[in-house]
Amino acid sequence: MTPRELGYRMPAEWAPHAATWLSWPRPDGISFPDRYPEILPTLGEMVRALTPHEPVHINCRNDEVETIARTVIRDLTNVHFHRIPSYEPWCRDHGPIFLKRGLETAIVDWAYNAWGGKYPPYDDDDAVPQRIAELLHLPLFQPGIVMEGGSLDVNGAGLLLTTAACLLNPNRNPHLSQPQIEQFLRDYLGVETILWLGDGIVGDDTDGHVDDLTRFVTPDTVVTIVEPDTQDENHALLQENLHRLRQMNAIRHIIELPTPGRVEYDGQRLPASYANFYIANHVVLLPTYRHATHDRRAQDILQECFPTRRVLPIDSTNLIWGLGSFHCLTQQQPL
Catalytic residues: 328
Angle formed at CA 11 by CA 9 and CA 12, multiple of 5 degrees: 145
Nearest to 156 by CA among 112, 197, 190, 205: 190
Closest among 75, 82, 16, 21 to 48, alpha carbons compared: 75
Tell me how far apart the alpha carbons of residues 125 and 144 are, in angstroms, rounded to a whole number. 15
Long-range contacts formed by 72-79: CB under 8 A, 24+ apart = 72/40, 72/41, 72/43, 72/44, 73/43, 73/44, 73/47, 73/48, 74/44, 74/48, 75/48, 75/51, 77/51, 78/51, 78/52, 78/54, 79/47, 79/51, 79/55
Task: Describe the strand order of the beta sheet including 193-197 as a list of residue ranges.
Answer: 153-154, 159-163, 193-197
Q: Please return the burial class of 310, using the count of CB atoms within 10 Å of its CB with bins 0-12, 13-18 and 19+.
A: exposed
DSSP state of 322: G
Provide the 3-class DSSP secondary structure of residue 225.
strand
End-to-end Cα separation, the chain, in angstroms: 24
Q: Which of 42, 52, 40, 41 is nearest to 76 (CA)?
A: 52
Query: CA-CA-CA-CA torsion for 177, 180, 182, 187, nearest 10 degrees?
Result: -160
Q: Omega before 313 cis (within 30°)?
A: no
